[in-house]
């Protein structure tokens, strides 16, 4: 039993390392090559765990080779647009100037139900509101609304909008996030001074956020932690 647990932990660590090397993406954002590598790695990881008589290298070496192949493919896709098209394909327009492109939908094997589901995901509930809809290479749909159906921007309204500000979590459940502090140009010394001014101890804070424009928000733990 202990051997199985140890082998499982080793394979788990190897998968984490491989995924970390390949980059951060959500499952729905995986390109074709990334999805293939992810599926193959999961299959390779199972064999050394179930077959304890086989050495771990039987799974680790092929996994390392797959990760290397994916890194090489990603490199060549960055260098060559034609190679990227060969591996990932091209975005496909399914609605153009408000007209549904039936031939392109058949090419994608996309049903009308699939089309309307994707439009609803994009916040569109009426077909006549769509100017363009494009299925990207990762399978997600990008939608451009017609001007009358789109949200009015401050620029269109002639209104001066406030400057953009990033809000980051600098304290989470009593723990300081130094990376978040760096994003807003602060440090732990400044943070502790702010908490002192607010009369809050670090261990009492559930969430503290700081905005790049200077705004702050503190939410204390319920019942004192």
| pLDDT by residue, tens only, the chain of 225 residues | 676 677 777 777 877 777 666 665 545 556 667 777 777 777 777 777 777 777 777 778 888 888 888 788 888 888 887 888 887 788 999 999 889 999 999 999 999 999 999 999 999 998 999 999 999 887 889 999 998 888 878 888 888 877 788 899 999 999 999 999 998 889 999 999 999 998 999 999 999 999 988 889 999 988 644
Which residue, 25, 43, 47, is CA-closest to 34?
25
Q: Report which DSSP code applies to 133.
A: E
pLDDT computed for residue 225 by the predictor: 46
pLDDT computed for residue 171 by the predictor: 93
The answer to whether the CB of 200 falls within 8 A of the CB of 218 is yes
Which residue, 69, 127, 120, is CA-closest to 98?
127
Residue 31's CB is within 10 A of a number of other CB atoms, namely 21
Identify the CATH class of 167-224: alpha beta
The answer to whether the CB of 22 falls within 8 A of the CB of 34 is yes
CATH fourth-level superfamily of 92-149 = bsu07140 like domains (3.30.240.20)
Q: Domain residue spans in the chain? A: 2-86, 92-149, 167-224
pLDDT computed for residue 111 by the predictor: 92
Helix residue ranges per DSSP H, 80-175: 81-88, 102-108, 112-121, 154-157
pLDDT computed for residue 159 by the predictor: 85
């Amino acid at each position: 039993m202990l051997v199985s647990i140890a082998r499982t932990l080793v394979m788990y660590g190897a998968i984490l390392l491989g995924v970390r090397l390949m980059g951060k993406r959500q499952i729905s954002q995986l390109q074709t090559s990334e999805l293939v590598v992810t599926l193959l790695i999961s299959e390779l990881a199972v064999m050394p765990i179930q077959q304890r008589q086989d050495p771990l290298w039987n799974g680790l070496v092929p996994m390392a080779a797959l990760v290397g192949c994916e890194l090489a493919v990603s490199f060549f896709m960055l260098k060559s647009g034609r190679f990227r098209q060969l591996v990932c394909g091209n975005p496909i327009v399914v609605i153009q100037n408000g007209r549904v492109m039936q031939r392109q939908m058949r090419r994608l094997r996309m049903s009308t139900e699939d089309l309307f589901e994707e439009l609803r995901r994009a916040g569109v509930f009426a077909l006549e509101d769509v100017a363009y809809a494009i299925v990207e290479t990762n399978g997600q749909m990008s939608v451009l609304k017609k001007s009358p159906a789109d949200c009015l921007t401050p620029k269109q309204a002639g209104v001066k909008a406030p400057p953009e500000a990033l809000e980051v979590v600098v304290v989470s459940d009593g723990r300081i996030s130094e990376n978040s502090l760096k994003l807003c140009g602060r440090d732990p010394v400044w943070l502790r001074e702010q908490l002192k001014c607010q009369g809050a101890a670090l261990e009492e804070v559930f969430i503290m956020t700081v905005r790049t424009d200077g705004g702050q928000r503190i939410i204390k733990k319920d019942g004192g932690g």
